[in-house]
């Protein structure tokens, strides 16, 4: 077994920043948190930012002519600027705060979709999408009569660029896909797909929920038209997410939700929408959550995204190493060199929910089920899988413990046969 000598980063130097990682569960089992693709934990810096916001700086934004409202507004807009820099968007009003990736994709499917897609047009997705990047487009198809098509995946869970080319036509209006699969961990060829889509005049939405937290994102180099991600998967609070959209596209789109903030003027006869980004931020936004996301971005910048990505690859490779000899275990997705820190697997027996429950009693938190990707599981010929997903605070020892316990579970069920 190849032992990794030096890690790209030392998780021990960050773990004390995360209060929850020091806890034990079920009595004396140290918590081994391997469910980071579902949501990550928060460092003290983010938690303190939230507390101090509520204690000293909180009021509604863009409204009050009073000191406290200015305090709140400055911090909220400061967070927007941090997000802009983080993904290298050209303009901060191209950053729309949403409640998460799901709302961001729904915003595009509703606002851009209803205005631009008609019967006979095509939306191109992939077989490995999360439900949140399938259902909004199926709903668009129900409203408009457009057709939703899927790029097939290879048996080892990758996209073939030749297939993409074959499915793109002049009827394709939008290509929407995940930068990284939330089940397979596959890193998709974002730039190449965007180039092919643009060549036939289609727009591209990148579901970056599983990539932005783990690796450098540059919307300008990628050429993305829209890009969506969530705060809670990158050390931030839940309830806030981001839609990046190119200015000319957002400008041309009708508002999504109607209400306060998104208007310039309202008369009994009708309304005039506000400028970007307010146009797409109806109602009181997730003020404190967005500011917390700003603090999370500061923290991630300090750790360094390149180091984070490299560390997670080492952990994924280790997981493959320690589990490949487990009897009846099948990994989903590509080899570790082609994926991020997401390692999904199935056992002959027992079922994934039993695996998760048995791991839980050893203190190990993994996800079990279809991970909001039922079509993908059907394609793979399974109904459920177990998923371990890593972040920079996870240690090699934790991965080893996972391997050991998965092996124990298979032994438990083998003995009884």
Partner 1 sequence: MPFNDEEEIYQEHILDHYEDPYHNGRCEHPTHAHEDDNPLCGDVVHVELQIDGDNKVRDAWFDGDGCVISQASASMLMEAIEGKTVDEVKQFNAEKMLEMFRAKLTPNRQKCCLLSWRVVQQAVHSPIDGDEAKAGPTFSGPGLGEES
Establish if 358 lies at the interface with partner 1 (CB under 8 A): yes
Q: What is the 3-state secondary structure (H, E, C) of the chain?
A: CCCCCCCCCCHHHCHHHCHHHHCEECCCEECEECECCCCCCCCHHHHHHHHHHHHHHCCCCCCCCCHHHHHHHHHHHHHHHHHHHHHCCCCHHHEEEECCHHHHHHHHHHHHHHHHCCCCCEEEEECCCCHHHCHHHHHHHHHHCCEEEEECECCCCCECHHHHHHHCCCCEEEEEEECECCCCCEECCHHHHHHHHHHCCCEEEEECCCCCCCCCCCHHHHCCCEEEEECCCCCCCCCCEEEEECHHHHHHCCCCCCCCCCEEEEECCEEEECCCCHHHCCCCCCHHHHHHHHHHHHHHHHHCHHHHHHHHHHHHHHHHHHHCCCCCEEEECCCHHHECCEEEEEECCCCHHHHHHHHHCCCEECEEECCCCHHHHHHCCCCCEEEEECCCCCCHHHHHHHHHHHHHHHHHHHHCC
Which residue in 374, 396, 400, 404 binds partner 1 (CB under 8 A)? 374
Contact segment (CB under 8 A) with partner 1 among 187-195, 234-242, 330-338, 374-382 equals 374-382
Contact segment (CB under 8 A) with partner 1 among 20-28, 250-258, 274-282, 319-327 equals 20-28
Cis bond leading into 350, ω under 30°? yes
Establish if 367 lies at the interface with partner 1 (CB under 8 A): no
Residue (321 or 362) nearer to partner 1, CB:
362
Question: Closest separation between CB of residue 28 and partner 1, Å?
Answer: 8
Which residue in 62, 367, 370, 387 binds partner 1 (CB under 8 A)? 370
Establish if 417 lies at the interface with partner 1 (CB under 8 A): yes
Residue (295 or 373) nearer to partner 1, CB:
373
Number of Cβ within a 10 Å radius of residue 195: 14
Which residue in 27, 268, 272, 381 binds partner 1 (CB under 8 A)? 27
Question: Closest separation between CB of residue 362 and partner 1, Å?
Answer: 10
Q: Is 146 a catalytic residue?
A: no
Contact segment (CB under 8 A) with partner 1 among 22-30, 67-75, 104-112, 113-121 equals 22-30
What residues from 120 to 159 belong to the interface with partner 1 (CB under 8 A)?
Answer: 131
| Count of CA atoms in the C-beta half-sphere (13 A) of 202 | 26
Q: How far is CA 361 from CA 56, 236, 379, 388, 389, in A?
A: 41, 28, 31, 15, 18
Residue (93 or 370) nearer to partner 1, CB:
370
Question: Closest separation between CB of residue 107 and partner 1, Å?
Answer: 19
Question: Closest separation between CB of residue 11 and partner 1, Å?
Answer: 27
Which residue in 167, 263, 365, 384 binds partner 1 (CB under 8 A)? 384
Question: Closest separation between CB of residue 332 and partner 1, Å?
Answer: 15
Give the active site residue among 303, 372, 376, 406: 372
What residues from 315 to 354 belong to the interface with partner 1 (CB under 8 A)?
Answer: 350-354
Which residue in 262, 295, 368, 402 binds partner 1 (CB under 8 A)? 368
Residue (270 or 381) nearer to partner 1, CB:
381
Number of Cβ within a 10 Å radius of residue 289: 23
Establish if 369 lies at the interface with partner 1 (CB under 8 A): yes
Which residue in 75, 84, 214, 377 binds partner 1 (CB under 8 A)? 377
Which residue in 20, 115, 266, 412 binds partner 1 (CB under 8 A)? 412
Contact segment (CB under 8 A) with partner 1 among 79-87, 151-159, 324-332, 382-390 equals 382-390
Establish if 38 lies at the interface with partner 1 (CB under 8 A): no
Positions marked active-site: 372
Q: Which residues bind partner 1 (CB under 8 A)?
A: 26-29, 131, 350-354, 357-358, 361, 368-370, 372, 374, 377, 382-384, 412, 416-417
């Amino acid at each position: 077994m190849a032992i990794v000598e030096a890690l790209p980063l030392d998780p021990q130097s960050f773990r004390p920043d995360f209060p929850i990682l020091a806890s034990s569960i079920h009595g004396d089992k140290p918590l081994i948190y391997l469910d980071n693709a579902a949501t990550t934990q928060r460092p003290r810096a983010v938690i303190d930012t939230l507390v101090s916001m509520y204690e000293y700086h909180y009021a509604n934004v863009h409204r009050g002519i009073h000191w406290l409202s200015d305090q709140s507004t400055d911090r909220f807009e400061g967070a927007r600027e941090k997000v802009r820099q983080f993904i290298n968007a050209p303009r901060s009003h191209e950053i729309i705060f949403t409640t998460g990736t799901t709302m961001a994709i729904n915003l595009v499917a509703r606002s851009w979709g209803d205005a631009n897609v008609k019967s006979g047009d095509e939306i191109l997705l992939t077989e490995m999408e999360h439900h949140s990047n399938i259902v909004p487009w199926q709903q668009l198809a129900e409203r408009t009569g457009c057709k939703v098509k899927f790029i097939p995946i290879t048996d080892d869970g990758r996209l073939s660029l030749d297939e993409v080319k074959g499915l793109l036509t002049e009827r394709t209006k939008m290509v929407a896909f995940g930068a990284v699969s939330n089940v397979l961990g596959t890193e998709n060829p974002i730039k190449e797909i965007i180039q092919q889509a643009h060549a036939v005049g289609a727009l591209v939405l990148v579901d970056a929920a599983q990539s932005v937290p783990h690796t450098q994102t540059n919307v300008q180099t990628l050429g993305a038209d829209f890009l969506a991600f969530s705060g809670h998967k990158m050390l931030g609070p839940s309830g806030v997410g981001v839609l990046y959209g190119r200015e000319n596209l957002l400008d041309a789109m009708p508002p999504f939700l109607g209400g306060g903030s998104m208007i310039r003027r309202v008369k009994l006869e009708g309304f005039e929408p506000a400028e970007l980004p307010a146009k797409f931020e109806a109602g009181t936004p997730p003020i404190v959550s967005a500011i917390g996301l700003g603090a999370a971005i500061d923290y991630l910048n300090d750790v360094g995204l390149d180091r984070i990505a490299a560390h997670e690859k080492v952990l994924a490779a280790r997981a493959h190493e320690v589990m490949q000899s487990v009897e009846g275990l099948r990994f989903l997705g590509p080899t570790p060199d082609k994926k991020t820190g997401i390692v999904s697997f199935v056992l002959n027996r027992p079922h994934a929910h039993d695996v998760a429950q048995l791991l839980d009693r050893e203190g190990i938190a993994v996800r079990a089920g279809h991970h909001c990707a039922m079509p993908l599981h059907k394609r793979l010929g399974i109904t459920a899988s177990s998923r371990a997903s890593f972040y920079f605070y996870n240690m090699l020892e934790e991965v080893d413990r996972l391997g050991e316990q998965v092996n124990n579970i298979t032994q438990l069920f083998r003995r009884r046969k």
